Structure formats: C-alpha cells, structure tokens
Amino acid sequence: MNKMILLVEDNADDEALTLRAVKKQMPHEIVVAHDGAEALDFLFGTGTYDDRDPSIRPLLILLDLKLPRVNGLEVLRRIRSDHRTKMIPVVVFTSSTEEQDILDSYTLGANSYIRKPVDYTQFCSDLKQVVNYWLVVNQLPPLRACS
C-alpha cells in the first residue's frame, strides 16, 4: 500500500528537516505543498494539479498554520467540509504557540496539534513518532468510506 504523506509547509528549512527526518527512517512518499492553495489544488485535483487523480489521497497530512495565500486553518476547514477528504488524519505541525490556534485547530477537526521542536534530534524523534502512529499503529478508515 502506498503510504503518501502531504506536507503543507512554506518554510524551506522546516521542509528540508521534515523530508530528511521522514526519509531517513520511513519509506513513505512525501508530496510537498508550499502554501494552502497548492495543498487544496493537490487534494482536489484542481489548478496546477488538474491532471492528478484526486481519488489517490494522502494517508496523512502534516499541516503548518502560517501559510501564504490560504492559511492552514482555512485548509483544514475545507478538508473537513468535503466528503472525499474529511477522514484523512490531519496533524497540525506548526511553530505557533498561540492558544487560539490550538483551539481553532481542534474545533475545525485537527486530529493532533504538535509544536515543532527547535532541537533537531527532538524534531526527528517527534516526527518519527507521529508518522509511525498514523501510518502504522493507527487503523485508518477504508478508502471506499471516503469516496
């Protein structure tokens, strides 16, 4: 089974750290969207991704909140409002420490909210645990339930 992860991240350094951490220990395909609009286009097969089959969905979305064009909370709102994507686990993976961001994320249906650690070793450890939990330990709904 293809275990694709959608990483929605506009910070090049955080993107590089995430890709290095995941690829180092976990053989999962990672698609990167650099802003919220690109993430939505990828998920729904629109815009620059209009030739992509939107029925091939990521099994996990790692979502930053502070994004250009469409912010992470709006991306989350749209993911949860569409029957094709509402069951995809969304982990908000952000540097924001604002309580309102935490409350809004959970209110909109985030499965988890994780602050990005500053320490590289902790960053890699946390990310490995998150991906392992959602793609190995956790039982995801059958894909046909999301069609």
What one-character-per-residue DSSP string does 6-51 give? EEE---HHHHHHHHHHHHHH----EEEESSHHHHHHHHHT-GGGTT
Residue 103 domain-assigned?
Answer: no
pLDDT, mean of residues 71-87: 95
- Domain that residue 43 falls in: 8-75+87-98+109-140
pLDDT of 37 > 60? The answer is yes
Q: What is the pLDDT of residue 143?
A: 61
CB atoms within 10 A of CB 125: 13
- What number is the average pLDDT over the span 56-70? 93
Q: Give residue-wise pLDDT tens across range 85-99.
A: 999 999 999 988 899
Which CATH number characterizes residue 53's domain?
Answer: 3.40.50.2300
Rg (CA), the chain: 14
User: What would the mean pLDDT of 6-34 be, rounded to a whole number?
Assistant: 86
Rounded mean pLDDT, 41-58:
92
Structure tokens at 73: 């909370």
According to DSSP, residue 145 is labeled G
**What are the structure tokens assigned to 125, written together?**
């450890």
Share of the chain above pLDDT 90, in %: 54
Split at pLDDT 50, 70, 90, the class of 17 is: confident
Q: With respect to residue 80, please indicate whether it lies within any of the assigned structural domains.
A: no
Residues 17, 20: Cα–Cα separation, whole Å:
5
CA distances from 5 to 2, 27, 115 (A): 10, 11, 18
**pLDDT tens by residue, 89-144:** 999 999 888 999 999 999 999 999 999 888 888 888 888 888 888 888 888 777 65
The reported pLDDT for the residue numbered 145 is 53
- Whether 130 is covered by a domain: the verdict is yes
Q: Domain total for the chain?
A: 1
**pTM for this model (two decimals):** 0.91
Is residue 30 pLDDT above 80, yes or no? yes
Domain presence at residue 81: no
